[in-house]
Amino acid sequence: MQLSLSYKTVSTHRPMILSITGVLLVLFVLLSLVTGAYTISVPEVLHILGAKLGLPAQGVAEEKMAVLWTIRFPRVLLGVLVGGSLTVAGACLQGLFRNPLVEPAIIGVSSGSALFAVIVIVFSSSIGWQLRSLFGAFALPLAAFFGGLLNTFLAYRLASKAGKTDISILILAGVAINALSAALIGLVIYYGDDNAIRNFTFWSLGSLGGASWNKLYIVGSFIILATTVMMSFPKSLNALAVGESEAFHMGIHVQKVKYLVLFFSALAVGAGVSVTGAIGFVGLVVPHLVRMMIGSDHRTLLPVAFLLGAILMLVADIVSRLIVAPAELSIGIITALIGAPFFISILLNFKRQRIL
């Protein structure tokens, strides 16, 4: 009864919650567009965007138009898509396994995606060339997706028995798979050149600096598809919150939902990693914060998590560009500095609950 009342209260305020987070996202998008070594004001940003929509742009330098449209705008859109998709994937995995400690990086999705992406880059004259001849520009995102999917299902199979998943074993399996993937990445890099080593640094720390319109068109299509599908499961995830048996009796095809969530989580994370590199803790921190603020109703949790995940990614990107300006700090460092203490606080909270 209490759960039903909570869901009803959240549903009543759902439009207001979404409106507030939507407005915040727009503000941070504008802040991100005006932030950088080359000064561009908010009115100039609006004039440039208006010019791209066919409106006359008066008094705006061509250099500023080029910087905003070819560098900052695709970077901001990529940050929104990657941050939102990582958070939705984390929220879905946490709801699926009924544990707030689960997120894409912990169970091996990110490391598997990075491993296969690095393989394609380092062996670009052999494996990479063959994949590009078959899939063209989609080769790298598809390779990253396959790597993330492989690690995810391996961790899932290790932790599953008789259709049930042991969360402790899932997390331990993720730790082992992440370690194995890191070792294999190091082995691949050993056979690479200086350029491969620089690319490895990119994958390990993460950055939005590689954003471009061409990459955004390719990766964005994968991310939007995967995120849209994941956000269509609020009813199933709400049912799974009370247990798999109960969800089954409510008419939910539990195994189908598990496979679909795992598949599209790997697709979203793999596509993002193929451009940004591994960015950790976003899928862990934001869903947990959203649950603390508005509860566990996935009808509201998933869209709010997407918006707040996009905001966190933009904030981390802004900090990464300002803290060592005119140079740029890797965004993965910022998210780790935010997420690691938060993860420790969750563990301490679990410890206190068990003691009590």
**200-243 pLDDT, tens digit each:** 666 667 888 878 898 898 889 999 999 999 999 999 999 988 88
Ordered alpha helix ranges (H), the chain: 2-12, 14-34, 42-52, 62-67, 73-97, 109-122, 127-135, 139-159, 167-190, 194-205, 213-230, 234-240, 244-249, 254-276, 282-294, 298-322, 331-355
Distance CA 275, CA 100 (A): 27
Question: For residue 11, what pLDDT is reported?
Answer: 57
What is the predicted pLDDT for the residue at 142? 81
For the chain, residues with pLDDT lower than 70 are 1-12, 57-60, 124-126, 128-129, 137, 163, 196, 199-204, 354-356
In this structure, the chain runs to a length of 356
Residue 2 is predicted with a pLDDT of 40
- pTM of the predicted model, to two decimals? 0.85
CA-closest candidate to residue 287, choices 26, 107, 102: 102
CB 145 within 8 A of CB 321: no
For residue 54, is it left (φ>0), alpha (ψ between -120 and 50) or beta? left
208, 209, 213, 216: CA torsion to nearest 10: -30
Cα–Cα dist 82/77, whole Å? 9
For 293-352, what is each residue's pLDDT tens digit? 888 889 999 999 999 999 999 999 999 888 877 778 888 888 888 888 887 887 787 777
Residue 245: the pLDDT is: 82
- At residue 208, the pLDDT reads 87
The parent domain of residue 267 ranges over 2-355
The structure tokens 């679990």 sit at: 350
Structure-block tokens of residue 239: 């049912």
**pLDDT at res. 203:** 62
3-class DSSP state of 253: coil
d(CA 232, CA 1): 25
What count of other Cβ atoms lies within 10 Å of the Cβ of residue 253? 12
CATH code where residue 17 lies: 1.10.3470.10
Task: Please say whether the beta carbons of 114 and 275 come within 8 A.
Answer: no
State how far the Cα of 282 lies from the Cα of 250, in Å rounded to an integer. 32
Domain count, the chain: 1
Q: Are 327 and 41 in contact (CB under 8 A)?
A: no
- DSSP letters for 179-232: HHHHHHHHHHHHTS-HHHHHHHHHHHH--STT--HHHHHHHHHHHHHHHHHHTT
| pLDDT for 4 | 43
Print burial letters for 263-297: b (CB count within 10 Å at least 16), e (below 16): bbbbbbbbbbbbbbbbbbbbbbbbbbbbbeebebb
| Local structure of residue 59 (DSSP, 8 states) | S
The CA-based angle 147-152-154, given to 5 degrees, is 95
Distance from the first to the final alpha carbon of the chain: 26
Residues 149 and 89: beta-carbon distance below 8 Å? no
pLDDT at 92: 93
